[in-house]
Amino acid sequence: MKLQSAVLGMAMALMAGMISGACSSTSSNPSGTGGSSSGTAGTGGGGGGSSCPNVTACGGDVVGTWNVSSSCLNLSSTNLDIGAAGLDPAMCKNVTLSGSLSVSGTWTANANGTYTDGTTTTGNVQVGLPAGCLNLSGTQIACSDISGPLAGLGFASANCTTAAGGGCTCAATVQQMGGIAWLTADPQRSGNYTTSANVLTADATTRYAYCVAGNNMTWTPQSLSPTTSGTIVFAKSGAAGTGGTTGSGGTTGTAGTTGTAGTTGTAGTTGSAGRGGTTGTAGTTGTAGTTGTGGSGRVDGPCDIYAAANTPCASAYSMVRPLSKAYTGPLYQVRSGSSAMNTGSGGTLRDIPMLPDGFPDTATQDAFCANTICTVSQLYDHSGNANHLPVAKKGLTNGGVNAGMDDFESAANKGMMMIGGHKVYSLYMNAREGYRIMRVGTRMPTGSAPQGIYMLADGTHYGTACCWDFGNVTTNPQSYADMNTLFFGVAFWGKGAGSGPWMMADFEAGVWAGGSRVGDPGWGALDDNQNRVNPALPSLRVPFAFGILRTRSSPSQWTLRMADLQTATNITTSYQGAMPKPISNIGAVVLGVGGDNSNNSWGTFYEGAIVAGYPTDATDLAIFNNIKAVGYNR
């Protein structure tokens, strides 16, 4: 029920009761609350079995810095939404979950509607999976194969073993920075918030019933799958200076900010003007030199290197830079104000052009997207073949909980970086976000023609389900067919060294870490498409992960290569051998989802190309060095 301000005293008494009777202690007890919290640490530490009452919501002003003083949170579900783990919802029903969470740290709300989340959420959870969960995309998987992909639900680790009577029992842990008390694989540590009807909503997705009473505040997360019950109790920071700095409205904080901003602004303007003059002179000199050698101020890109090696780009994409010196069109297109949940309709479209040096004109994007929900509506093909990528359409339902629905466009402004003084955006993709053409692409490899793929991705933002792919797929996502794509992440089938993510090959009905067929030397009698562990395949949990996939039918061979862009001087060949299955390229292009629209994984795409032909190691290295010269950094 709702509690109005006239009875805030009752709310304070209720919260005091929660602190002293029901909630577990954390390490962030502020002065004045430590006694009552520490007195019940043993009770709260009982985990999921203890009673954790929900907050009686009353709303209130949340602006300020709040320290978590205690928490008591239970998780439960008898039919868990398993889609984020990439399992088949038609087969994987009645998944059970039970456990508890504990929260510590600080949460800050600013008066301008932004927040900073400095909290840590920890916990232990038990998950029960019925036997049907082991059937996925036409193949049988093992309980041990599910442990990694369960991270898609927000678990830091999971150990799944075969249960009596079939199915799996999984013991999972939660260790999450940000995304306060909300089980998620993508916790946010800053963003926007709103308050309405006694509910605080962060980033338009995570909701908390809340009540502010004096210097105390309580929350109950309103998650539904799993259901969360209980409270997080906060005490407002007693440091007035901190409140002012975070924009809580204090006179001291405002005055300090104004004074500092004024001084810094003057100094910065003067310094910038001086640096601007110097840079301008250098720029003029550089332009003159460039003009003498070509006139555009741009250098060769990967497609120029591939063309010189007689393996031309068939499709090439990047929001960061042009991949061909000859390409002069826009890099990508954005949509402001989609009318259909960002599924590719409505709103207003704007092409994002290049500046003379080839970097995107992000100032145009920022002005167009100001104060709106803005998404990437199309990736333009830099190869000159016009294989432009719009949002992907629905596929088969057994590819995951959302695969039978159209995909979403990705946010246009989440992957910001500075490269060589230029502000750029990468393609930051969440689950159920993907791009695809549903026709045979112009000059795309088809049939048994050889093909090469390279991709640069963020190895710190990777999915744990099926399938974050880039490459050659069927024109019909509602049918199974051969595919020839480079996969990045952690999935149910092949594995490499360490815990991932890995660059692997998705040829449909499995993801390959290496190998050719049963009895392949060095592998033993293993199934063609399941449970392969390739110790030569390195984990790439790095900011800039580079991967190569090459395939050909005559002679039958595929090559898997990768490197850490920032530290490597050469590329590792993790596997080279005969194809594990015949290849029949169909010629459509996909990014971020599987051939059947399996769309439960996620990642960040910087750049990549599909080429006609089978590139050499020397060409691969030239591409790698070309990318290194860009100066990717963040």
* CATH number of the domain encompassing residue 385: 2.60.120.200
- Pair (553, 615) in one structural domain: yes
Tell me: the pLDDT tens digits for 476-500?
Answer: 998 878 899 999 999 888 889 998 9
Catalytic residues: 508, 596
* Residue 290 is assigned to a structural domain of this protein: no
Give the long-range contacts of residues 559-564, CB within 8 A, separation 24 or more. 560/503, 560/504, 560/505, 560/513, 560/514, 561/617, 561/620, 562/503, 562/537, 562/538, 563/624, 564/459, 564/540
- Pair (217, 313) in one structural domain: no
Instruction: For residue 400, name the pLDDT band (cuts at 50, 70, 90).
Output: low
* Residue 259 is assigned to a structural domain of this protein: no
Q: Which of 251, 276, 311 is the last residue of a domain?
A: 251
- How many CA within 13 A on the CB side of residue 53? 12
Instruction: For residue 515, name the pLDDT band (cuts at 50, 70, 90).
Output: confident
- Pair (243, 329) in one structural domain: no
* Residue 193 is assigned to a structural domain of this protein: yes
pLDDT at position 600 is 86
* Residue 275 is assigned to a structural domain of this protein: no
* Residue 398 is assigned to a structural domain of this protein: yes
pLDDT at position 345 is 79
DSSP H or E stretch at residue 624: helix 617-628
Which distant-in-sequence residues (6+ apart) come within 8 Å of 600 by Cβ? Answer: 83, 84, 85, 86, 152, 399, 400, 401, 402, 403, 431, 432, 463, 465, 466
Handedness of CA 583, 311, 512, 489 (dihedral sign): negative
- Pair (176, 315) in one structural domain: no
Mean pLDDT of the chain, nearest integer: 81
- Pair (212, 68) in one structural domain: yes
- Pair (313, 445) in one structural domain: yes
**By residue range, what is the domain housing residue 182?**
5-251
pLDDT at position 46 is 34
CB 125 within 8 A of CB 95: no
Instruction: For residue 162, name the pLDDT band (cuts at 50, 70, 90).
Output: very high
Q: Which of 216, 251, 286 is the last residue of a domain?
A: 251
- Pair (360, 241) in one structural domain: no
Report how far apart, in Å, the C-alpha atoms of 317 and of each of 21, 80, 360, 607 are.
57, 37, 13, 6
Region 156-163: mean pLDDT is 90
- Pair (402, 481) in one structural domain: yes
Alpha helices in 380-486 (DSSP H): none
Strand 603-612 and strand 374-379: the pairing is unpaired
Q: Which of 235, 251, 267 is the last residue of a domain?
A: 251
* Residue 277 is assigned to a structural domain of this protein: no
* Residue 271 is assigned to a structural domain of this protein: no
**CA dist., res. 227 & res. 477, Å (int):** 33
- Pair (25, 106) in one structural domain: yes
* Residue 502 is assigned to a structural domain of this protein: yes
- Pair (307, 172) in one structural domain: no
- Pair (197, 322) in one structural domain: no
pLDDT at position 67 is 97
Instruction: For residue 19, name the pLDDT band (cuts at 50, 70, 90).
Output: very low
- Pair (160, 235) in one structural domain: yes
Cα Rg of the chain (Å, integer) = 26
Structurally, the chain folds into a number of domains equal to 2
